[in-house]
Amino acid sequence: MQNRALLPQTGNFYKANLHTHTVLSDGHWTKEQVKAEYQKRGYSIVAYTDHRHYGWHPALADDNFLPLAAFEADLNEVFQKPGDFSRVKTYHINFYDTDPVARGGFTAIQPPQRYGDVAGLNEFISQMNEQGFLACYNHPWWSLQTHEDYRGLRGVFAMEIYNHGCELDGLYGYAPQAYDEMLRTGTHLHCVATDDNHDAYPVGDPRNDSFGGFTMIRAPALNYGAIIQALKNGDFYASTGPELYGLEIKGDALCVRCSPVEKIYAVTQGRRCYMAVAEPGHTITEACFPLRGDEGYLRMDCRDGAGNHAYSNAYFLDVL
Ligand SMILES: [Zn+2]
Ligand SMILES: [Zn+2]
């Protein structure tokens, strides 16, 4: 195999929350408060994904902060009981605008409301892609969705492997199984971790849903074009705590460097999983796994002692 950096070795890592709500939909903070609170904690990027509301807030941009123009669309199953959303399946999809300046304005639109018509939904996503939006499939578990619902999705560049708001809401924030299911049925897509914050509780309250899931984007500079290009390339990883410093193919091995963790796992397309595990009371910060070449895809899951994960994107060996 050719030596190759899977995560770019140059550029800076920018911390991003790619899913947020403000008072423009059902969030509790203004867009300015969101910027202030996230900037205070080292974030450089927030995607404003209010429900059905296209959020383009260029006045928030400065040398150290980049707001991404976006919105969250939904497609609900028909309500069994009028007014009772609790058992209604739903697709939630974030759309990130790749060039809001050239667009000069947009009004959020909704997919055709025909749950079960995956072809119709895919047609909508395809049209949005053509118009210059990246689509992200959100929180399948909270959405009460199963493989049946999401395996046919096309045109999504990523899905949420972790959604912090959902984790706090009902312990249904993690979706590594759904990610593997998508990958194993041939959908090539990346994974992100997000907050999906609504901030109904103040900072400091354990129920506050900000600052739990983030995406580290590696790009040459903090500007709109560079960050969108990095998203398209998959130059990022998802995390609930640990950091990935490097991920590369060296000789016939996959090598990873990360912040101190207990477990470094390389998940593959099949049941074979490569692992490096620290002795009790210790941590590890790197591992190299010899590859056979028949792994299909590889994705890293580095877990620390507190149960937090850093997730790489999946890399398919046949397209490396
Ligand atoms: Zn949602
Ligand atoms: Zn949301």
Round to whole Å and give the CA distance between 212 and 315. 25
Low-confidence ranges of the chain (pLDDT < 50): none
Residue-level pLDDT at 2: 84
Round to whole Å and give the CA distance between 320 and 315. 7
How many angstroms does the Cα of residue 26 sit away from the middle of ligand 2?
9
Residue-level pLDDT at 262: 98
| Shortest-distance ligand to the CA of residue 91 | 1
Q: Which two tokens stand for residue 142?
A: 């909270």
How many angstroms does the Cα of residue 196 sit away from the middle of ligand 2?
5
How many angstroms does the Cα of residue 138 sit away from the middle of ligand 1?
6
The 10s digit of each residue's pLDDT in 27-80 is 999 999 999 999 999 999 999 999 999 999 999 999 999 999 999 999 999 988
**239 by DSSP, 3-state: which?**
strand
Burial of 107 (0-12, 13-18, 19+ CB in 10 A): exposed
Domains in the chain, please, with CATH? 10-239 (3.20.20.140), 241-320 (2.60.40.730)
Round to whole Å and give the CA distance between 96 and 228. 9
Q: Which two tokens stand for residue 129?
A: 């892609």
Q: Which residue's entry shows tokens 């900037």? A: 39
| Shortest-distance ligand to the CA of residue 53 | 2
How many angstroms does the Cα of residue 236 sit away from the middle of ligand 2?
21
How many angstroms does the Cα of residue 72 sit away from the middle of ligand 1?
7
Residue-level pLDDT at 238: 99
Residue-level pLDDT at 69: 98
Residue-level pLDDT at 81: 83
How many angstroms does the Cα of residue 196 sit away from the middle of ligand 1?
7
| Shortest-distance ligand to the CA of residue 195 | 2
Residue-level pLDDT at 227: 98
CA 62 to chain centre: 24
